[in-house]
């Protein structure tokens, strides 16, 4: 049975354009795809439709977390250290726990359910170097119904031996994961995942790039998150003019590339990323938590760089993409204050509409899935989040005069109390409901 959904829709169309339907109707077919979205209640295309009324609630596209680490969730918010010592003290010991496949499955199940509870319908995650833990994570994702882009972490140096795998050994492991899980259904996808250049030899980077091209996979990695990281990378790869050239030289840059952080990219690197069609994934909470820096968002957008948004757990200490959207806005304001103090020109800070775009359509574009995900359009999957901003009202017994759709979304972002996420829908089906029911 199809569905007709009524509510106030916020539909991002571009990074600075949003369509608002105050009392709109979305028609969903039996397969869970959008037939139409309109301000008018149009009849269905035949067959029976269930009418579901969210008239007083907000409806946004499903949130897309384009960079996070499943295996780090257990120590989210811990560690007052810069990136490289933080990895050695906290990250690698935590990831070694995932040799226990039962633990890996149990934690993955909890992780994905938490994502759905917070409105995330699509997640792009690093697992660990353990192949069985990666299989377990896919199994947990399949069980919860979330859309998951997951990768076995590839490292062959500068990490504990247990977490290292040679290119020769990694190839059959990765190919088995691809054969078993990649596009098993519309929700499961494998991602080529070299952690970063410091932990990968040239041979392993070549393998990662070859996998992305040969199997048409996304490739996720880190770049220019930390100044010490950049310095160490160029020591390990002498003869390269900058960090990006390392990835370019070994085939890891293209439209398939998801480059986490990118805080300290040079002007030349930004232009080359734009020309390659790669995407930078902004992780503002993590960037501040580790003291890494602030992404020059407006400058990069003006240069045509594609940008998405990610929670980057565990340095990002909250799995909520609504939280991350707020942090992206506040980081943009902070960056402007720094520019003002330096006497440099300041441009507009990130808007609420832009933050919503980064959290939805921006992520879909980075994944090259904008034809099926990211906003409300005919033929796309009906992935959406219903938000109850009543929980965010300062005085719940009073009607607020600040009731435009953007103002209501702002309240949700800045006053995220329990119950704000009313329900989360993937493929036209409710797979999380704060009231405990599903549709």
Q: Is the dihedral of CA 397, 401, 404, 407 positive or negative?
A: negative
Helix, strand counts (H, E) of the chain: 15, 15
Which residues are CB-neighbours of 10 under 8 A, at least 6 positions away?
18, 19, 20, 58, 59, 60, 356, 405, 406, 409
Would you state the pLDDT for residue 390?
86
- For the chain, which domains are there? 2-61+375-433 (2.30.40.10), 63-366 (3.20.20.140)
Q: Distance between CA atoms of 333 and 350, rounded to whole angstroms?
A: 7
Contact by Cβ (8 Å): 21, 55? no
CB atoms within 10 A of CB 26: 24
Would you state the pLDDT for residue 417?
77
Average confidence (pLDDT) per 10 residues, the chain, 439 residues: 96 95 95 95 72 95 98 93 94 97 98 98 98 98 98 98 98 98 98 98 98 98 97 98 98 98 98 98 97 95 97 96 98 93 91 98 98 98 96 74 89 88 97 74
Would you state the pLDDT for residue 439?
46
Which residues are CB-neighbours of 322 under 8 A, at least 6 positions away?
63, 118, 119, 359, 412, 413, 416, 420, 421
Distance of CA 301 to the CA centre of its chain: 18
Would you state the pLDDT for residue 391?
83
Q: Distance between CA atoms of 62 and 228, rounded to whole angstroms?
A: 36
Whose tokens are 């490289």? That residue is: 84
Quick one: which of 171, 107, 191 has its CA closest to 368?
Answer: 191
Contact by Cβ (8 Å): 424, 430? yes
Report the share of the chain in percent with pLDDT over 70. 96
pLDDT tens, residue by residue, 361-372: 999 999 999 999
Largest CA distance in the chain: 66
Helices (H), 182-282: 202-214, 227-236, 243-249, 267-276
Quick one: which of 265, 268, 358 has its CA closest to 306?
Answer: 358
The whole-model pTM stands at: 0.97
Q: In Å, what is the CA distance from 45 to each residue of 25, 31, 39, 49, 225? A: 14, 13, 17, 10, 50
Would you state the pLDDT for residue 434?
87
pLDDT tens, residue by residue, 11-35: 999 998 999 999 999 999 999 999 9
């Amino acid at each position: 049975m199809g569905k007709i959904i009524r509510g106030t829709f916020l539909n991002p169309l571009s990074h600075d354009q949003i369509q608002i339907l105050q009392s709109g109707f979305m028609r969903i077919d039996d397969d869970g795809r959008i037939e139409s979205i309109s301000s008018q209640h149009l009849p269905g295309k035949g067959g029976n439709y269930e009418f579901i009324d969210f008239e007083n609630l907000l409806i946004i596209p499903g949130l897309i977390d384009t960079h996070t680490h499943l295996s780090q969730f257990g120590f989210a918010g811990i560690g007052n250290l810069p990136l490289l010592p933080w990895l050695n003290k906290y990250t690698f010991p935590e990831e070694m726990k995932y040799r226990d496949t039962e633990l890996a499955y149990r934690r993955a199940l909890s992780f994905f359910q938490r994502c759905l509870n917070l409105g995330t319908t699509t997640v792009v995650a690093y697992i660990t170097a353990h192949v069985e833990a990666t299989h377990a994570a896919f199994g947990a994702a399949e069980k919860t119904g979330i859309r998951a882009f997951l990768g076995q972490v590839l490292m062959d140096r500068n990490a504990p031996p247990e977490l290292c795998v040679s290119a020769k050994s990694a190839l059959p492991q990765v190919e088995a994961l691809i054969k078993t899980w990649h596009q098993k259904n519309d929700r499961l996808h494998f991602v080529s995942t070299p952690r970063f250049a410091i932990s990968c030899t040239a041979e392993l980077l070549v393998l990662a790039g070859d996998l992305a091209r040969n199997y048409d996979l996304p490739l996720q990695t880190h770049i220019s998150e930390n100044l010490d990281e950049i310095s160490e990378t160029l020591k390990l790869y002498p003869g390269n003019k900058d960090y990006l050239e390392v990835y370019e030289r070994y085939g890891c840059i293209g439209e398939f590339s998801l480059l986490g952080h990118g805080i300290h990219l040079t002007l030349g690197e930004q232009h080359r990323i734009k020309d390659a069609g790669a995407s930078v994934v902004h992780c503002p909470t993590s960037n501040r938590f580790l003291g890494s820096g602030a992404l020059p968002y407006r400058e990069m957008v003006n240069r045509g760089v594609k940008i998405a948004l990610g929670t980057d757990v565990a340095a990002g200490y909250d799995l909520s993409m609504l939280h991350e959207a707020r942090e992206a806005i506040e980081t943009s304001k902070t960056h402007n204050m720094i520019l003002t103090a330096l006497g440099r020109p300041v441009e507009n800070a990130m808007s609420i509409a832009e933050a919503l775009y980064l959290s939805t359509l921006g992520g879909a574009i980075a994944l090259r899935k904008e034809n099926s995900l990211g906003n409300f359009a005919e033929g796309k999957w009906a992935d959406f989040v219903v938000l109850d901003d009543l929980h965010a009202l300062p005085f719940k017994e009073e009607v607020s005069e600040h009731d435009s759709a953007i103002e209501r979304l702002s309240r949700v972002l800045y006053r995220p109390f329990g119950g704000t996420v009313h329900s989360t829908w993937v493929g036209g089906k409710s797979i999380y409901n704060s009231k405990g029911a599903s549709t």
